[in-house]
Amino acid sequence: MTTERTLSIIKPDGVKKNVIGKIIDTFESNHLTVIAAKLVQLTQNEAEGFYAVHKARPFFGELVQFMVSGPVLLMVLEGPDAIAKNRELMGATNPANAAEGTIRKRFSASIGENTVHGSDAPETAKTEIAWFFAENELFTR
Ligand code: ADP
Ligand code: MG
């Protein structure tokens, strides 16, 4: 087991549905600790840069528009195997395929509006955290 950090985002649909607390409770109940957090409305540039890996996908424009449509909660989670654990708690990208009890099964309306983002590997976690947080904004405990 490795202590890891991962970037979590509660997307605009999750913030609008007023389920920030329920989602954070899910993390904290599963050994993940919030070591950084900010509620912000992303700019077009921030959202495009963050999702640059998906630039060629047909849903890229829709994804960016959705991500700037309202405030999001940016967080860094830390804990044992945090990257995989967060992905497990999130559930499949398409909520229709997400396992019972996962965040996306509980709260998500569609594959586009799927409530949460989570880094998928150590390298992406590192770059995604650095995209939104300075080192002195992370409070390891
Ligand atoms: P995940 O967020 O599970 O890592 P991906 O990295 O594949 O999923 O996709 C990034 C985000 O792009 C998804 O969370 C979702 O919001 C959006 N997305 C993915 N596939 C589609 C699709 N087919 N149609 C619309 N939006 C999509
Ligand atoms: Mg992804």
Q: What pLDDT digit, counting tens, does each position of 43-101 carry?
A: 999 999 999 999 999 999 999 999 999 999 999 999 999 999 999 999 999 999 999 99
What does the mean pLDDT of the chain come to? 98
Q: What pLDDT digit, counting tens, does each position of 14-23 carry?
A: 999 999 999 9
Per-residue buried b or exposed e for 113-136, using 16+ beta carbons within 10 Å of the residue's own CB: bbbbbbbeeeeebeebbeebbeee
Ligand closest to the CA atom of residue 88: 1
Residues 88 and 48: beta-carbon distance below 8 Å = no
Residue 104 has pLDDT above 90, yes or no: yes
Record the pTM. 0.98
- pLDDT for residue 107: 99
Q: Which one from 117, 118, 125, 132 is the annotated catalytic residue?
A: 117
| Mean local confidence (pLDDT), 99-117 | 98
| Mean local confidence (pLDDT), 28-41 | 98
High-pLDDT (> 90) share of the chain, %:
99
- pLDDT for residue 141: 82
Residue 31 among the catalytic residues: no
Ligand closest to the CA atom of residue 128: 2
Centre of ligand 2 to C-alpha 5, Å, is 16
The alpha carbon dihedral of 85, 89, 93, 97 has a sign of positive
Centre of ligand 1 to C-alpha 108, Å, is 12
